């Protein structure tokens, strides 16, 4: 993986003026940044953020996509609609979607398929709960989650990004140690290697409370190709610190 990839996940945060302020501050500090970068914003702000990011190296991302291409699905947003706004990345299967919206592994795999069909790179989230980790099921859980996506998408699997997000480390202030993160990333890397000869194209991001203080240590691990950033992506100084750490 030549350049690290750092993607901000704004979750359900933002506003027209707040978005402008945040992105103006990030753009002002991009000078020394050499990694790949993106921000995944709530759907209503795609048009605004597309304009704000024009001419910058920061890619636009969305946070979810429908399993359907079009039709009578009130409230849903299709991949082709996202593509109309120049969306480059789309988060799929985030633990919050799996938990609060009961998204199944099959649905996640179908969302990946829709994104790929429209030329959007899905950021496929996998990860275990604290109960699963304590039961020694981490490896089985993440492999099962990724296997569903591989099964549905076949040779296209080299076009995805994977994000390992231990559910117990999201928004809790707890973080997997660099060694814990690397161990799971190595498992995912081996699974991708078995699935595609182009496995080296797939970035594996760490997504469990990566922040300005721990980013450098996590990104130094051999199989950590970047980060999916939550809270720290809403603070320009913190996000820039992570981007710089990924540019070393």
Task: Residue count of the chain, please give it.
Answer: 248
Round the CA-based radius of gyration of the chain to a whole number and report it: 17
* Angle subtended by helix axes 46-53 and 16-28, to nearest 10: 20
Q: Beta 226-229 vs 204-206: how paired, if at all? A: parallel
CA distance 128 to 170: 11
By annotation, the residues acting in catalysis are 94, 165
């Amino acid at each position: 993986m030549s350049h690290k990839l750092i993607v901000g996940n704004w979750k359900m945060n933002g506003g027209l003026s707040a978005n402008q302020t945040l992105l103006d501050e990030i753009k002002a500090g991009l000078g020394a940044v050499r990694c790949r970068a993106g921000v995944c914003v709530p759907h209503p702000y795609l048009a605004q953020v597309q304009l704000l990011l024009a001419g910058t190296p920061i890619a636009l991302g969305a946070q979810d996509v429908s399993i359907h291409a079009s039709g009578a699905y009130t409230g849903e947003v299709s991949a082709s609609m996202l593509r109309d706004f120049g969306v480059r990345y789309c988060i799929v299967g985030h633990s919050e979607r799996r938990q609060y919206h009961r998204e199944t592994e099959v649905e996640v795999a179908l969302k990946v398929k829709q994104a790929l069909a429209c030329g959007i790179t899905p950021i496929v989230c996998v990860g275990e709960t604290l109960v699963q980790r304590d039961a020694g099921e981490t490896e089985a859980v993440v492999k099962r989650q990724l296997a569903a996506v591989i099964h549905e998408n076949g040779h296209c699997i080299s076009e995805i990004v994977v994000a390992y997000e231990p559910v117990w480390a999201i928004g809790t202030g707890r973080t997997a140690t660099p060694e814990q993160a690397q161990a799971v990333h190595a498992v995912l890397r081996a699974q991708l290697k078995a699935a595609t000869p182009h496995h080296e194209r797939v970035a594996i991001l760490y997504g469990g409370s990566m922040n300005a203080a721990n980013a450098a240590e996590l990104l130094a691990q051999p199989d950590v190709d970047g980060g999916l950033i939550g809270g720290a992506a809403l603070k320009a100084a913190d996000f820039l610190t992570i981007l710089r750490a990924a540019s070393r």
